[in-house]
Amino acid sequence: MKKRLNIPKDFWKDFKDRKDFDEFFSELFKEGINQMLKAEMTDHLGYEKHSKEGDNSGNSRNGDYPKTLKTNLGEVTINVPRDRNGEFDPKVVPKHESRLSDEIAQVIIGLYSRGMSTTDIQEQIEQIYGVQVDSSSVSNITNALIDSIKEWQSRPLEKVYFVVWMDGISIKIRHNGKIVNKTIYLVIGLTQEGLKQVLGMWVAPTESASFWMSVLTDLKARGVEDILIASTDNLTGFTDAIKSVFPLAVTQLCVVHQVRNSLRYVVWKEKKEFTADMKKIYHAVTIEAAEQALINFEKKWSIKYAYAVKSWKNNWENLTQFFDYPLEIRKIVYTTNMMESLNRGIRKYIKTKSIFPHDQAALKAVFLAIGNIEKKWTMPIQNWGMILHQFLIKFEDRCRI
């Protein structure tokens, strides 16, 4: 029979700090592994403890011995059962090993980092540990992640980022009894080593220039002194907000956002041709060629789609900053594709959660998704050596290598 952990619903109120929580979860982890080992012994012998089926079976239980495991929770001492014939070889904790088997370790780590629902986590714990935990306990256990989020959100940052991408991901969250769309805003920074870092996340009901100013002020308070290039959408006032906090930053509006916004006004049958004409602008080799492409674009479409054409002209300076740089730098700054790739990755991890009960639940899920995504960001972006050289030439006085 599977054992049910006797965990009171308000157990988390007894935690004074993160250490208390870690000690509690370590005990939960330890008991779960012990239950798994006992189940393995039962399977090995073929009969339950104290069962008459074991009489004259030729082998029996022979107590246990302590063994210290190295885990993500630190060192945990468990009790490994013995049989009289010395034939028991547990799969969960192999002999002569001080770690859990890779398969079990990956499942345990994945409980909180794969966007599982509470029900999924319950099933995983029961399947792996042979113990049952109620849904409120699972939720309360994961609430301790909030401390980790706060620590991560306030960690010191580097003094200079070569490129910073800023955008957000929309998520459905229950608020005052209603389901509303809220945006979790994200910032990715490109370091002098060519590595990407998620610098932080912030949740807000609406996007505004004043909101982004508070984000940028937060980055500065955490040690960022300079941003060479900021790639953003074309929110009104965004460029001014960046300049007010990082006055030397070059602001490049995302061309992909501009294209999408322009296409909103175009009838379906003309979208292909309209898109091709826009591409001639931002795929031009020089700024002069781009200006000529814009002139042709205006002549052709200004009568039908005056607002779309006007948007290109009004944002021209900030849409074309990338022409000042070599091709390799252009590719990484004229769109927020880096950010959209992150957003796709986050959605992959949280796809089982269509609606979050509150802001904290959404932040926990996104935080864990970011952690999984960043594990893959171990190498510099492609052609970083060449790109770095070009940055050093262009921003010689501001690069701190």
Q: Along the chain (401 residues), what's the average pLDDT of each consecutive run of 10 residues?
A: 47 51 64 77 84 81 86 75 88 70 43 58 62 55 70 93 91 88 92 96 82 91 95 80 92 90 93 96 95 97 94 93 90 83 87 80 86 90 91 86 56
Judge if 9 and 93 occupy the same domain. Answer: yes
Query: Residue 151 domain-assigned?
Result: no
| 28 and 175 belong to one structural domain | no
Mark 33-65 as b/e (b = at least 16 C-beta within 10 Å).
bbbbbbbbbeebbebeeeeeebeeeebebeeee
Q: Domain span at residue 78?
A: 3-143
Please check whether residues 188 and 295 belong to one and the same domain: yes
Alpha carbons within 13 angstroms on the beta-carbon side of residue 151 total: 6
State the pLDDT at residue 168: 84
Query: Are residues 212 and 240 part of one domain?
Result: yes
| 150 within a domain of the structure (yes/no) | no
- Which pLDDT does position 25 carry in this prediction? 61
Whether residue 164 sits in one domain with residue 20: no
Would 280 be classed as within a structural domain? yes
* Angle separating helix axes 255-263 and 306-314, nearest 10 degrees: 160
| Same domain (yes/no): 123, 215 | no
> Do 188 and 307 have their domain in common?
yes
Instruction: Judge whether 399 lies within some domain.
Output: no
Give the sign of the dihedral formed by CA 231, CA 236, CA 241, CA 246.
positive
Token digits of residue 119: 């029900």
Question: Domain check: are 200 and 119 in the same one?
Answer: no
Look at residue 106 in the predicted model and tell me its pLDDT.
42
C-alpha 318/C-alpha 65 separation (Å) is 69
Query: In angstroms, rounded to a whole number, what is the distance separating the alpha carbons of residues 312 and 302?
Result: 11
Residue 260 in domain: yes
Residue with tokens 């674009």: 297
Going by DSSP bridges, is the β-strand pair 196-204/3-4 parallel, antiparallel, or unpaired? unpaired
Is there a single domain that holds both residue 198 and residue 132? no
Q: Residues 111, 176: one domain?
A: no
Which residue, 98, 120, 143, sits at the end of a domain? 143
Query: How many domains does one find in the chain?
Result: 2
Residue 401 lies in a domain: no
Tokens of 87: 């034939």
Please indicate, yes or no, if residue 148 is contained in any of the structural domains.
Answer: no
Does residue 384 form part of some domain? Answer: yes
Co-location of 85 and 192 in the same domain? no
Residues 201, 138 share a domain: no
